[in-house]
Amino acid sequence: MHGMTGRDGARGGLRERKKRATRAALTESAVRLAAEHGADHVTVEAISAAAGVSVRTFFNYFDSRDDAFVVVDADASARVRQSLLDAPAALTPLEALREALAAELSEAERQHELWNLHAEVLRTAPHLLVRSLGAHMADETGLAEAIARRIASVPAGSPAAVTSEAGAGAGDRHGAIGLYPRLLAAVAGTAVRVSVQHWCDRQDDIAFADVFREVFALLAAGLPAPAR
């Protein structure tokens, strides 16, 4: 693609994987050190040393120390958006988003100990929590934009188009984000949070994937009242 040879593509892929691995190591080191000592007592030097890189390398990935604490996986949102856009046209927006999130959250489940530590760090450092919430709001807006793009690209008359046209809003046709994409992005974020919290309370009894699927099944059904 774009004149790139197979060898160049492989080299670029390896380079990108190394960069992602380095960023992930820095983030994990930052979170673990903050969980042990408190975020305010963790230095860039300590994070870099724990990750096995130089301070100069740290600043190739983050503008400041606090940036290393904000999100565990900086690329996750982009992967979800791309998966959503690449999903089969026959899927409704809710179904496509469910599949995109499920693929991403399988990795989060594997790293649940690190994610729990990250949540604890944010709870004990209000200034980091505010920054994290800001990042999540930006991610939500980006997801809403991707949902709007998907709706616009789905062939007219398909099940996915019929499902979403009524709520998409005229704004989508003029470059603005309509009501439906905004609402679906916000609901998806809440669904993920509730799924994680519910599973963390019961992880010895239930698989995370089962909780996640049940949450989206309830959403798809219109949140019917549970049987007494």
Claim to verify: residue 62 and residue 129 sit in the same structural domain: no
Number of domains comprising the chain: 2
Claim to verify: residue 59 and residue 81 sit in the same structural domain: no
Whether residue 4 is predicted with pLDDT greater than 60 in this model: the reply is: no
- What does the radius of gyration of the chain's CA atoms come to, in whole angstroms? 20
pLDDT of residue 175: 54
Instruction: State which residues form the domain around 44.
Output: 6-69
pLDDT of residue 86: 95
Claim to verify: residue 121 and residue 198 sit in the same structural domain: yes
pLDDT (average), residues 157-183? 60
Number of helices followed by number of strands (H, E) in the chain: 11, 0
Type of residue found at 53: V
Domain-ending residue, one of 69, 103, 121: 69
Type of residue found at 33: L
- Assigned domain for 144 exists: yes
- Assigned domain for 135 exists: yes
Residues shown for the chain: 228
Claim to verify: residue 62 and residue 93 sit in the same structural domain: no
Domain-ending residue, one of 69, 93, 121: 69
Describe the crossing of helices 179-202 and 112-124 by its angle, rounded to 10 degrees: 110
Q: Name the band, by pLDDT with cuts 50, 70 and 90, for residue 69.
A: very high
The dihedral built from the CA positions of residue 207, 101, 220 and 179, taken in this order, carries a sign that is positive
Claim to verify: residue 25 and residue 91 sit in the same structural domain: no
Q: Name the band, by pLDDT with cuts 50, 70 and 90, for residue 185.
A: very high
pLDDT of residue 56: 97
Contact call for residues 143 and 79 (beta carbons, < 8 A): no
**CATH code, domain with 126:** 1.10.357.10
- Tell me the backbone φ, ψ of residue 177, rounded to 5 degrees: -90, 125
pLDDT of residue 158: 53
**pTM of the predicted model, to two decimals?**
0.76
Rounded Cα distance between 192 and 194, Å, is 6
pLDDT of residue 105: 82
Domain-ending residue, one of 26, 52, 69: 69
Whether residue 189 is predicted with pLDDT greater than 70 in this model: the reply is: yes
Rounded Cα distance between 142 and 226, Å, is 33
Whether residue 161 is predicted with pLDDT greater than 60 in this model: the reply is: no
Contact call for residues 135 and 143 (beta carbons, < 8 A): no
Reported for 190-195, long-range contacts at CB under 8 A and 24+ positions apart, including other chains, are: 191/101, 191/215, 191/216, 191/219, 192/101, 192/105, 195/105
